[in-house]
Amino acid sequence: MPDAGGKGNNVPRKDKNQDKHDKSRAIPTSRVGRLARMARMAGGVAGGMLAEGTRQLRDGKRPSARDMLLTPTNARRVAEQLSTMRGAAMKVGQILSMDAGEFLPRELTDILARLREDAKHMPPAQLQQVMQEAYGPDWETLFYDFKMEPLAAASIGQVHKTISPDGREIVLKVQYPGVADSIDSDVDNIATLLRLPGLLPAELDIKPLLEDAKLQLKGESDYLKEAKYLQEFGKLLRNDKRFVLPEALPELTHHNVLAMTYVSGSSIDTLITAPQAERDRVMSALLELMLLEFFELKLVQTDPNFANYQYRPGTGEIVLLDFGATRRFKASFVNQYRKLAQAAIDGDMDQLAGAAERLGYALGEPGSPYRQMVLEFLMLAMEPVCEDVAYDFSGSKIASNMSKLGEEVLDFKEAWKSPPAEAIYFHRKVGGMFLLASRLKARVNVYQLMQRWL
């Protein structure tokens, strides 16, 4: 086992000749260190803009701020720094790419989308420090065959496999150092960066998204809370043979390390080659689970990352992972959403508008083109539930039609307001399920699944 090294940011620098395929990067843990990273990134972006502007002037062109900012070099610079910092810096990029994507320049959306898959993990010395903080200097005596190479790395933590003191195969979700303490400052620093001229439309108010992102991130960084969510979902699904979940191990869990039993599974993508009936069955089960979470529990795992779902070809079981982004919904919101769904099924635009406004959507004046556009957007989102047939997700044009509507939204910049936060998080889950169903080319009678809740 490598030596633990020093404290704080005293992590050995990587050798310049280190394997280029090694994705480990030391994480800046102090606020000053993280601010310095952000300042370095902003300085690099500004330098890149100056160089690009000089180049365009030399070519006889009059450069715009947007053209100078969104160069391939600047794109790589931003993506690399945010993925190295992890934590709130990386998560805000993910959130914005999903929730404000139609308002962002395509180049910026592509940069931010990369962050959903481009996490770096901690080097061994920094991992040692976190494990010592959680379990003490003799932590290695607690576990057998601890794997230093993580099974997975994300924005807030990484997962390691080992053997527990009682001999069970388990995984430890280890939080990156400094992430929890830097949430507010990271989000504020990202907000400053996003105000660079030409990066975001002046009319786009992202403050509500960023403030809610702070709350979400603080919840996700509380591993004791995630352990309780995992236990809650375990109780809910213990008699449902379709699903398999890890078991939380409270005796080994700390605020920065979540201990769970190890559950094996293959990538959910392995279902792509499965028979149509099996793809339909699995997707139907996942959609039914989402409706159960929302309408009955009012407790939803809102992270749409495909890596949170695995499949066991031998048994057909679905493995559910990662409950850090679990969110509780108010009963009033769930009830109004139920009315929204019923209005969409009935094709009642007046009821649809009333439910949408009670949910917190800004619809504008009755009869206005903007109001009509928002209602059209909501009806489009509800398309899979409106007919009593097996909806063919592979042939759906919802995504392309929504993209066209998103372009129309830009004509109503003054009227547009961010959707209510609860809607954003639920729609993120719905959108993730839609994308998964499309990838699996599933056919599901969503109308019948909804009847139980209407």
Dihedral of CA atoms 131, 134, 136, 141 in degrees, nearest 10, equals: -60
The pair of three-digit structure tokens given for residue 38, joined into one six-digit string: 């952000």
In sequence order, what are the residues at sequence separation of 6 or more whose Cβ sits closer than 8 angstroms to the Cβ of residue 189?
34, 35, 38, 89
Instruction: Name the DSSP class of 19.
Output: -
Distance CA 114, CA 95 (A): 12
List the structure tokens of 35: 């601010």
Question: What's the CA gap between 177 and 123, in Å, rounded?
Answer: 12
Q: Name the active-site residue from 280, 303, 348, 392.
A: 303
- Taking the C-alpha atoms of residue 271 and residue 440, their distance in angstroms, rounded to an integer, is 7
DSSP codes joined into one string, 213-267: HHHHHHHHT-HHHHHHHHHHHHHHHTT-TTEE-PPB-GGG-BTTEEEEE----EE
User: Helix 398-409 and helix 421-439: axis angle, to 10°?
Assistant: 140
Work out the burial of residue 272: count CB atoms within 10 Å of its CB; fewer than 13 is exposed, 13-18 middle, 19 or more buried: exposed
Taking the C-alpha atoms of residue 441 and residue 269, their distance in angstroms, rounded to an integer, is: 11
Do the strands 152-153 and 157-163 form a parallel or antiparallel pair, or are they unpaired? Answer: antiparallel
Asked if 127 and 2 count as a contact pair (C-beta separation under 8 A), the reply is: no
Per DSSP, 292 falls in state: I
The residues facing 254 across adjacent strands are 257
Question: What are the E-state strand segments in 54-197?
Answer: 152-153, 157-163, 169-175
Amino acid (1-letter code) at residue 150: P
Six token digits for residue 340: 């929204």
Q: Is 346 a catalytic residue?
A: no
Q: How far apart are CA 429 and CA 415, in angstroms?
A: 26
Report residue 156 as tokens.
Answer: 């807030």
Find all residues with CB under 8 Å of 130, minimum gap 6, and list them.
122, 174, 175, 176, 177, 256, 257
Distance CA 163, CA 135 (A): 15
Spatial neighbors of 240 by CB under 8 A, at least 6 apart, are: none
Catalytic machinery residues: 303
